[in-house]
Homo-oligomer: A and B are copies of this chain.
């Protein structure tokens, strides 16, 4: 199961109910954070997320509302004794920004290493692969370099346990070897993966599209997602503001969801002017019915 939790659903400025951008994703013990706005460490504590066990942080772009929480989070990890490496991915410039952030306030990061990955490619590419899943990214269309990310479970073939037992394979390590695509020997008989693995099943997919104008890259990245998290800073009557700030309206986000044939859309990065964001939800639903406005601490399981 892929667990997703929204930690901050506001854009630019926090409100009483919405923190700064951050989305948590967990899959098979692998823990990731997409964006890390001011206050994210506190949101993680409130949500009781084991933030010390984060494996990777993906920063979409270097506007302050998406990255200012890194300083506090990394310092707290250090204070609490983290010693395993943390991977950080972000656009060109992330290394300098991070250096600036983690040296503010007498701080010297001592306990653990950061593996920094500056993503310079403009094309859709795989940037991270682990434990049955991978993360792809693509360059979007904002007023500074901004990246979208998709988390994809690798294609998998269901394991026919009964058939394996029937062929004399004992439950345990041999099962794992077969699942991993290796043949195993049982007495004099060789059992091959194809004997016990079914047809390939497409993996589940979650896509995170932060600050951008609606664009082909977002649609390509989101194609076929089970969950699309798309920024929707404005309602469509403020499309001019959206164009000016290189943002997306709720209606436009719904159009992206429709064209990318996703199953479910969560509107995110909500402008502080919408104290009631139902207007955004209604507008998007007219085009893509399975839409919800993300609220802080909302959980989605896929």
User: Is B103 within 8 A of A45, CB to CB?
Assistant: no
Q: Select one of B62, B76, B100, B144 contacting A100, CB under 8 A.
A: B100
Q: Per-residue 0/1 for A1-43: is the Cβ within 8 Å of any B Cβ (1 yes, 0 no)?
A: 0000000000011111001100000000000000000110110
Q: Per-residue 0/1 for A59-82: is the Cβ within 8 Å of any B Cβ (1 yes, 0 no)?
A: 000111111110110011001100
User: Is B105 within 8 A of A63, CB to CB?
Assistant: yes
For this chain, the copies found in one complex come to: 2
User: Is A79 within 8 A of B45, CB to CB?
Assistant: no
* Chain B, residue nearest A272 (CB): B45
User: Is A76 within 8 A of B106, CB to CB?
Assistant: no
Residues of B within 8 A of A80 (CB): 13
* A63, B79: Cα distance in complex, Å: 13
Q: Select one of B12, B13, B105 contacting A97, CB under 8 A.
A: B105
* A80, B271: Cα distance in complex, Å: 13
Residues of B within 8 A of A107 (CB): 64
Asked if A46 is at the interface of the complex by the 8 Å CB criterion, the answer is yes
Asked if A104 is at the interface of the complex by the 8 Å CB criterion, the answer is yes
User: Is A38 within 8 A of B106, CB to CB?
Assistant: no
Nearest Cβ distance between residue A108 and chain B, in whole angstroms?
11
* A66, B106: Cα distance in complex, Å: 11
User: Is B46 within 8 A of A105, CB to CB?
Assistant: no
Asked if A277 is at the interface of the complex by the 8 Å CB criterion, the answer is no
* A133, B191: Cα distance in complex, Å: 86
Nearest Cβ distance between residue A219 and chain B, in whole angstroms?
26
Q: Select one of B16, B75, B103 contacting A46, CB under 8 A.
A: B16
Asked if A101 is at the interface of the complex by the 8 Å CB criterion, the answer is yes
- A residues 136-162 in Cβ contact with B at 8 Å: 144
Q: Select one of B12, B42, B62 contacting A14, CB under 8 A.
A: B42
26 A-B contacts (beta carbon < 8 Å): A12-B76, A13-B41, A13-B79, A13-B80, A14-B39, A14-B42, A15-B42, A16-B46, A20-B72, A38-B38, A38-B39, A38-B42, A38-B69, A38-B72, A39-B42, A64-B75, A64-B106, A65-B72, A66-B105, A67-B104, A68-B68, A68-B71, A97-B105, A100-B103, A101-B104, A106-B144
